[in-house]
C-alpha cells in the first residue's frame, strides 16, 4: 500500500517541518541521509532525543569494557544550522489531528512529517525478584555504567546473564572483562539459536566455555532470589533446580518495540508490537507518520539489526524528497566476534526453504564449523553459518540467491577464503551482489567506482562509496574487487626500488648486505631519497642493533630527528626524553631531571607515555645534557625514532586494591627488553594490572591486561589520527609464553610491514588478519618462529644506548654544533618567552620558516 504525498505547503518557498522522535543509530542515519541529499533545503529538521547525549554506536557498546569511552562511540555530529537536536527532551504524546508532538519539557513541536525512530527496550521476563537491586539490562551507555558500578561493589564476584543470544554473549564478555566469574543461562538447546544451528551453537558454546564462561543451555530462570535485609539480588534459581549465587543479574533475553507513542495515538501496531508500515516505511494509518528501525513492523515483523534499520532510513529520506524508493527487504546477515570467537550467519541459515540441502564441514580439532544451505538441485546458495573461521563470509554472503560458482564443499574449504579457492571469489559474483550490507553497496557500484571514478585503493573506495566504513567485514572483498578490475597495486618503496619494504627486509636478511649503497647498487637504482634512505636505515638497524645508527654511512641515511637523536621542535631546538621504564622513577633520578632542566633552562612536561620531556635544548647543548643524564643512569628514550617508545603501566597489584598482577614489574621488563628496537613505525605499549585498564593498554600497539590466571595480550591498537582499539590475540598467558609471543609479534611486524605503517594499519591489511597473525606467532604456521626468536635474542644481546655511543665518540660529537667555526655559540635566531614560569618558544625567523614535520615524525605521546 502506498499513499499520495501529503500537501504540506504552497509555493516553492514553503519550508516543511520534519520531527524525528529518537536519536539512536537509525534515527541518526535518517537525519544524515536527508541532510546530505536535501540540496534545496526543503526540510527543517527537529530531533527529539531521550538520552542526554548525542547518537552513539550501540553495536560497539562492549568496547567500553575494553577501554573505549563515550567519545569513541559517538556518531558524527549534525550541522546545528540545519538540525535542531533536543537532548534529554523525549516525545511524550502525539497529536495527529493537530500535527504536533508534546515533549517532556512541555513544549509542543509542530510537524509536516513525523518519523518514529524510538527503537526498542530490553525485555525483562516477569520473574519473582527480577526488579530487585542488582538486576540490570544491557542496552545503553547508562546501562554500561550501572553494570560497571555493580561489578565494582560485587561481594560474590559472580555475574549471571539471562539470555544466550548476541546481546547476552556481549554482556557476558563485559562481566568477564570486569573480573567476574560469569554464567550464561539460555532456554534454547544452544547459544545464539536465532542465528546458529545446533552444530554451530555447540561449537560456540564449547569455545565460550574454554574462555571461562559457564554456559547453561536448555534451562530457564525460575526466579531471582533476594537478600531478606537489603532486598537486593542474592542468587538465581534455574528451572532445572540449579542455584547460582550472585548479586549481579543482567537480562539480555530479547527486546520489544517501543511503540507506546504510536499505540496511544491510535496508529496500527503489529501482533507482536511495532508500528505497521508499508514498503515505503510509512504508517498504514497516517500518511504523515513514518517508522524506521526496531519500532517498525514491516512485512509482518520487526527487525532488530542495524542494517535493515539503515535501509529503512535511506528509504524514508528518499521518499521525503520525492523519490520512489522502497524497502529492499531485510538483510539479516551478521558477522561478529563474541568473546573472541568469530560467528557469521547469512540467508536461510536454518534451511527453511522446501527441499533445501545442507553441506556441513565440522572440524572440532581446528575449532571451525561451516554450513552452506543450497537449493534442491545444489546450484543456488540460500544461506550459511560460519563459526570459528569467518574469513569466507565477505564472499559467501553476496552469493546468496545466485548460482554457485563451484561445488559447495569447496567453498567451505579454508583455501577458498578470501577468493583464492575454486569458487573464483569476487570475480564470480554478479554486479547485483551486495558487498557491503551496512551501506547497501553492490559489486557493480564498487566496480564502477574503480573503472569510472578512478578509485585505485581501498581508502579511495571507502571514501567514494562508504563501503567498508561500517562493520568493516567487507574490506577484504574490496581488495579483490580492485584486483578483479585490473588495478595493480604498486609495491615499490619509491622510485629507487621496485621492491616493497618487506621485500627489501628479506633481501637484506638473505644477502647479509650492511650498507645502503650496496643495496641500491645491487637491487635498486640511483642514489636514494628521503623515503628509501630512512626506511633502509631502519631495516639495517633492526638487523644489527650492535652498530650505532650514526656510524659510517648510516649516519647520512637518517632523518633529522634520528640524525640528532632528539626531536626537533618548531623553533629549531630539540627535546630530550630519557627512558623511564614503566613510568617508575626514583626520587634521586627525578631530582636529576629537575636539576638538568633548571641548569639548561629547559621547558619540562610529563608526557602521555609516563616520561618527562625536556624541551628547548639547542643542538650544541645536547651532548652536555646527555652526559649529565647518562651519568645519573638515564639512557635515550628513543622519542625521536621509529622504535619502541614506552611501555606504560598502572601501579598494579603492588599498590592498587583491584590489581591482580605486578603490572609495573612487567612493564619495566618489557621496556628494557625492547628498547631501541627499530621498526617501520613507532611502537607504544601498556600493561594494566586488572580489567579496569588504567594504563590504557588497548590503545597501544601491544597491550597487556592482567587476569587472575595470567595475562591477556592485545595487539594492533593505535591512539593517533585514526584511533583503533587493539584486538585480543591470546588469553591467560603465563609470563614466559607472553614474552615469547610479544617477541614474535614485534619481529613479524618489523619483517613484513610497509614503510611508516603502524601496527593497526598493518594488522588491518594483513591477509587473514588476526587469525593469521595468531597462527604465525603462536602455532608457527609459517615455520619462522625460530628465526623470529633468534632475531629478538640478537637485539636484546646487542643493545647499546645511542646517547652514550655519541658521547664516547669524538667524531660523532662533532655533529652537534650550530656553527662549525664557533661550536659554543648559540643560534641567535632562537629566543624564548616565559609562560607559567617556564620557557616557551618566541615565533621568529626560525620557527616561522621551519617546515612542519608530518604527524608520523612528531613526538606524539612520547
Give yes or no for a contact between 193 and 201, defined as CB atoms under 8 angstroms apart.
yes
Is the pLDDT confidence value at 174 over 50?
yes
Is the pLDDT confidence value at 488 over 80?
no
Ranges of beta strands (E only) in 541-682 are 567-568, 574-576, 603-606, 612-617, 644-649
Separation between Cα atoms, residue 573 and residue 830, nearest integer Å: 8
291 lies in the same domain as 142: no
Q: How many CB atoms lie within 10 A of CB 362?
A: 16
Q: Identify which of 65-69, 253-257, 454-458, 491-495 has the greatest average pLDDT.
A: 253-257
Is the pLDDT confidence value at 114 over 90?
yes
**CATH code where residue 150 lies:** 3.50.50.60
Give pLDDT, residue 698.
92
Residue 660 domain flag: yes
247 lies in the same domain as 316: no
Give pLDDT, residue 10.
33
Domain interval for residue 657: 649-800
Q: How far apart are the first and last CA of the chain?
A: 62
Ranges of beta strands (E only) in 740-851 are 832-835, 838-841
Task: For residue 26, give the C-alpha cell.
Answer: 537509525
φ, ψ dihedrals at 438, nearest 5°? -65, -35
Q: How many CB atoms lie within 10 A of CB 851?
A: 8
Angstrom CA distances, 298 to 1, 33, 263, 294, 321, stand at 12, 20, 16, 10, 21
Residue 314 domain flag: yes
Query: Which of 424, 457, 478 corresponds to the end of one domain?
Result: 424
Q: What is the rounded radius of gyration, in angstroms, for the C-alpha atoms of the chain? A: 30
Give pLDDT, residue 12.
41
HSE of 538, CA atoms in CB hemisphere, 13 A: 28
Task: For residue 120, give the C-alpha cell.
Answer: 526498542
Is the pLDDT confidence value at 7 over 80?
no
- What mean pLDDT do residues 333-344 have? 78
Residue 435 domain flag: no
**CATH code where residue 738 lies:** 3.30.413.10
- 45: enclosing H helix or E strand: strand 43-48
229 lies in the same domain as 308: no
Question: Between helices 25-37 and 306-320, what is the axis angle to 10°?
Answer: 30
314 lies in the same domain as 337: no
Non-local (6+) Cβ contacts of 449 within 8 A are 455, 460, 461, 464, 465
Task: For residue 547, give the C-alpha cell.
Answer: 652498530
Non-local (6+) Cβ contacts of 474 within 8 A are 394, 435, 436, 437, 441, 467, 468
Query: What would the pLDDT profile of 115-131 be if each residue is shown by its tens digit?
Result: 999 999 999 999 999 99
> What share of the chain has pLDDT > 70, as a percent?
90
Separation between Cα atoms, residue 626 and residue 596, nearest integer Å: 10
Is the pLDDT confidence value at 766 over 50?
yes
Query: Which band of pLDDT confidence, cut at 50, 70 and 90, is reported for residue 857?
Result: very low
**CATH code where residue 403 lies:** 3.30.390.30
Task: Please give the residue that has the higher pLDDT: either 531 or 787.
Answer: 787
47 lies in the same domain as 156: no
Give yes or no for a contact between 841 and 587, defined as CB atoms under 8 angstroms apart.
no
- What mean pLDDT do residues 142-155 have? 92
Query: What would the pLDDT profile of 240-260 be if each residue is shown by its tens digit?
Result: 999 999 999 999 988 999 999
Q: What is the DSSP string of 440-464?
A: TEEHHHHHHHHHTT---SHHHHHHH
Residue 727 domain flag: yes
392 lies in the same domain as 541: no
Give pLDDT, residue 67.
64
Give yes or no for a contact between 497 and 523, defined as CB atoms under 8 angstroms apart.
yes
Looking at the structure of the chain, the number of domains it has is: 5
Give pLDDT, residue 489.
64
Separation between Cα atoms, residue 200 and residue 19, nearest integer Å: 44
Residue 302 domain flag: yes
669 lies in the same domain as 765: yes
654 lies in the same domain as 761: yes
Give pLDDT, residue 742.
98
Give yes or no for a contact between 327 and 298, defined as CB atoms under 8 angstroms apart.
yes
Give pLDDT, residue 425.
58
Is the pLDDT confidence value at 657 over 70?
yes
Q: How many CB atoms lie within 10 A of CB 625?
A: 22
Separation between Cα atoms, residue 812 and residue 804, nearest integer Å: 11
Q: Report the chain's mean pLDDT, rounded to a whole number.
A: 86
Task: Please give the residue that has the higher pLDDT: either 427 or 767.
Answer: 767
> What is residue 269's DSSP assignment?
B
- Residue 650's closest CA among 618, 687, 607, 624? 687
Query: Which of 271, 290, 320 corresponds to the end of one domain?
Result: 320
Residue with cell 508500528: 275
Is the pLDDT confidence value at 823 over 70?
no
- What mean pLDDT do residues 554-558 have? 80
Give pLDDT, residue 699.
92
Is the pLDDT confidence value at 821 over 70?
no
Give pLDDT, residue 465.
85
- What mean pLDDT do residues 489-493 have? 73
Query: What would the pLDDT profile of 217-232 be if each residue is shown by its tens digit?
Result: 999 999 999 999 999 9
Is the pLDDT confidence value at 275 over 80?
yes
Instruction: Supply the pTM of this predicted model.
Output: 0.56
Separation between Cα atoms, residue 190 and residue 207, nearest integer Å: 13
110 lies in the same domain as 57: yes
Query: Which band of pLDDT confidence, cut at 50, 70 and 90, is reported for residue 840?
Result: confident
Task: Please give the residue that has the higher pLDDT: either 340 or 836.
Answer: 836
Give pLDDT, residue 854.
37
Residue with cell 525483562: 124
β-sheet bridge partners, residue 702: 685, 715
Residue 3 domain flag: no
Query: What would the pLDDT profile of 767-791 be if each residue is shown by its tens digit?
Result: 788 889 999 999 999 999 999 999 9
Query: Which band of pLDDT confidence, cut at 50, 70 and 90, is reported for residue 819?
Result: low
689 lies in the same domain as 791: yes
Give pLDDT, residue 2.
38
Residue 620 domain flag: no
Give yes or no for a contact between 87 and 49, defined as CB atoms under 8 angstroms apart.
yes
Residue 855 domain flag: no
- What mean pLDDT do residues 334-362 have? 85
162 lies in the same domain as 91: no
- Residue 610's closest CA among 695, 553, 674, 505? 695
Separation between Cα atoms, residue 646 and residue 580, nearest integer Å: 8
- What mean pLDDT do residues 422-427 have? 51
Give pLDDT, residue 431.
77
Give pLDDT, residue 858.
43
Query: Which of 510, 543, 564 corresponds to the end of one domain?
Result: 564
- What mean pLDDT do residues 677-686 have? 94
218 lies in the same domain as 271: no
Task: For residue 19, give the C-alpha cell.
Answer: 520531527
Amino acid at each position: 500500500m502506498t499513499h499520495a504525498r501529503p500537501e504540506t505547503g504552497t509555493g516553492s518557498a514553503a519550508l516543511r517541518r520534519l520531527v524525528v522522535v529518537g536519536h539512536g543509530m537509525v534515527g541518526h542515519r535518517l537525519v544524515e541521509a536527508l541532510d546530505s541529499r536535501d540540496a534545496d533545503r526543503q526540510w527543517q529538521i527537529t530531533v527529539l532525543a531521550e538520552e542526554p547525549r548525542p547518537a552513539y554506536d550501540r553495536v560497539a557498546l562492549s568496547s567500553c569494557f575494553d577501554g573505549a569511552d563515550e567519545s569513541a562511540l559517538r556518531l558524527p555530529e549534525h550541522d546545528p544550522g540545519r538540525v535542531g537536536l533536543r537532548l534529554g527532551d523525549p516525545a511524550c504524546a502525539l497529536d495527529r489531528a493537530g500535527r504536533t508532538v508534546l515533549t517532556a519539557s512541555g513544549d509542543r513541536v509542530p510537524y509536516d512529517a513525523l518519523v518514529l525512530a524510538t527503537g526498542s527496550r530490553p525485555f525483562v521476563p516477569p520473574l519473582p525478584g527480577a526488579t530487585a537491586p542488582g538486576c540490570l539490562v544491557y542496552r545503553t551507555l547508562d546501562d554500561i555504567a550501572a553494570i560497571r558500578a555493580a561489578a565494582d561493589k560485587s561481594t560474590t564476584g559472580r555475574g549471571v546473564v539471562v539470555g544466550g543470544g548476541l546481546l547476552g554473549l556481549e554482556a557476558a564478555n563485559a562481566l568477564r572483562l570486569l573480573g567476574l566469574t560469569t554464567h550464561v543461562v539460555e532456554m534454547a538447546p544452544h547459544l545464539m539459536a536465532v542465528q546458529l544451528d545446533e552444530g554451530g551453537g555447540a561449537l560456540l558454546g564449547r569455545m565460550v566455555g574454554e574462555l571461562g564462561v559457564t554456559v547453561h543451555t536448555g534451562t530457564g530462570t525460575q526466579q531471582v532470589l533476594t537478600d531478606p535485609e537489603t532486598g537486593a539480588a542474592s542468587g538465581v534459581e534455574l528451572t532445572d533446580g540449579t542455584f547460582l549465587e550472585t548479586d549481579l543479574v543482567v537480562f539480555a533475553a530479547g527486546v520489544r518495540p517501543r511503540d507506546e507513542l504510536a499505540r496511544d495515538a491510535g496508529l496500527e501496531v503489529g501482533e507482536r508490537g511495532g508500528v505497521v508500515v508499508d514498503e515505503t516505511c510509512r504508517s498504514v494509518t497516517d500518511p504523515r507518520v513514518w517508522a524506521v528501525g526496531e519500532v517498525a513492523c514491516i512485512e509482518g515483523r520487526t527487525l532488530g539489526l542495524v542494517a535493515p534499520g539503515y535501509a529503512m532510513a535511506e528509504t524514508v529520506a528518499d521518499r521525503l524528497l520525492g523519490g520512489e524508493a522502497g524497502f529492499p527487504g531485510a538483510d539479516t546477515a551478521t558477522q561478529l566476534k563474541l568473546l573472541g570467537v568469530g560467528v557469521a550467519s547469512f540467508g536461510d541459515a536454518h534451511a527453511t526453504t522446501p527441499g533445501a540441502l545442507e553441506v556441513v564441514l565440522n572440524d572440532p580439532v581446528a575449532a571451525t564449523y561451516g554450513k552452506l544451505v543450497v537449493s534442491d538441485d545444489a546450484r543456488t546458495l540460500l544461506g550459511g553459518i560460519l563459526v570459528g573461521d569467518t574469513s569466507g563470509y565477505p564472499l559467501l554472503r553476496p552469493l546468496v540467491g545466485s548460482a554457485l560458482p563451484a561445488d559447495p564443499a569447496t567453498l567451505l574449504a579454508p583455501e577458498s577464503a578470501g577468493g583464492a579457492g575454486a569458487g573464483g571469489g569476487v570475480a564470480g559474483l554478479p554486479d547485483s551482489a551486495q558487498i557491503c550490507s551496512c551501506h547497501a553497496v553492490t559489486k557493480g557500484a564498487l566496480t564502477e567506482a574503480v573503472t569510472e571514478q578512478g578509485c585505485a585503493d581501498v581508502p579511495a573506495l571507502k571514501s567514494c562509496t562508504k563501503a567498508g566504513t561500517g562493520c568493516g567485514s567487507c574490506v577484504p572483498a574490496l581488495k579483490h574487487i580492485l584486483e578483479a578490475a585490473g588495478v595493480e597495486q604498486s609495491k615499490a618503496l619509491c622510485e629507487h626500488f621496485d621492491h616493497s619494504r618487506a621485500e627489501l627486509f628479506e633481501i637484506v636478511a638473505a644477502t647479509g648486505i650492511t650498507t645502503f649503497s650496496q643495496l641500491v647498487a645491487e637491487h635498486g637504482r640511483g642514489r636514494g631519497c628521503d623515503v628509501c634512505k630512512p626506511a633502509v636505515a631502519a631495516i639495517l638497524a633492526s638487523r644489527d642493533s650492535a652498530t650505532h645508527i650514526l656510524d659510517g654511512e648510516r649516519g647520512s641515511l637518517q632523518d633529522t630527528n634520528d640524525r640528532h637523536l632528539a626531536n626537533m621542535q618548531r623553533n629549531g631546538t630539540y627535546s630530550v626524553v630519557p627512558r623511564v621504564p614503566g613510568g617508575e622513577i626514583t626520587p634521586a633520578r627525578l631530582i636529576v631531571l629537575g636539576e638538568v632542566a633548571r641548569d639548561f633552562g629547559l621547558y619540562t612536561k610529563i608526557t602521555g607515555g609516563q616520561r618527562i620531556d625536556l624541551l628547548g635544548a639547542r643542538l650544541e647543548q645536547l651532548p652536555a645534557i646527555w652526559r649529565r643524564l647518562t651519568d645519573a643512569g638515564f639512557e635515550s628514550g628513543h622519542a625521536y625514532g621509529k622504535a619502541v617508545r614506552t611501555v606504560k603501566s598502572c601501579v598494579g597489584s603492588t599498590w592498587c586494591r583491584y590489581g591482580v598482577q605486578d603490572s609495573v614489574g612487567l612493564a619495566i621488563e618489557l621496556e628494557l627488553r625492547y628498547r631501541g628496537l627499530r621498526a617501520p613505525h613507532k611502537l607504544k605499549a601498556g600493561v594494566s594490572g586488572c580489567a579496569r585498564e588504567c594504563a590504557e593498554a588497548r590503545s597501544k600497539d601491544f597491550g597487556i591486561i592482567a587476569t587472575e590466571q595470567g595475562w591477556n595480550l592485545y595487539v594492533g591498537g593505535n591512539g593517533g589520527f585514526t584511533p583503533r582499539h587493539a584486538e585480543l590475540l591470546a588469553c591467560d598467558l603465563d609470563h614466559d609464553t607472553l614474552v615469547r609471543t610479544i617477541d614474535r609479534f614485534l619481529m613479524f611486524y618489523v619483517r613484513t610491514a610497509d614503510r611508516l605503517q603502524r601496527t593497526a594499519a598493518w594488522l588491518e591489511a594483513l591477509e587473514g588478519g588476526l587469525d593469521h597473525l595468531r597462527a604465525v606467532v603462536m602455532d608457527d604456521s609459517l615455520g619462522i618462529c625460530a628465526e623470529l626468536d633468534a632475531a629478538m635474542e640478537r637485539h636484546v644481546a646487542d643493545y647499546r644506548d645511542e646517547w652514550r655511543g655519541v658521547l664516547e665518540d669524538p667524531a660523532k660529537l662533532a655533529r652537534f654544533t650550530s656553527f662549525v667555526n664557533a661550536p659554543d655559540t648559540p643560534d641567535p635566531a632562537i629566543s624564548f618567552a616565559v609562560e607559567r614560569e617556564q620557557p616557551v618558544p618566541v615565533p621568529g625567523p626560525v620557527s616561522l620558516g621551519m617546515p612542519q614535520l608530518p604527524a608520523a615524525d612528531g613526538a606524539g605521546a612520547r
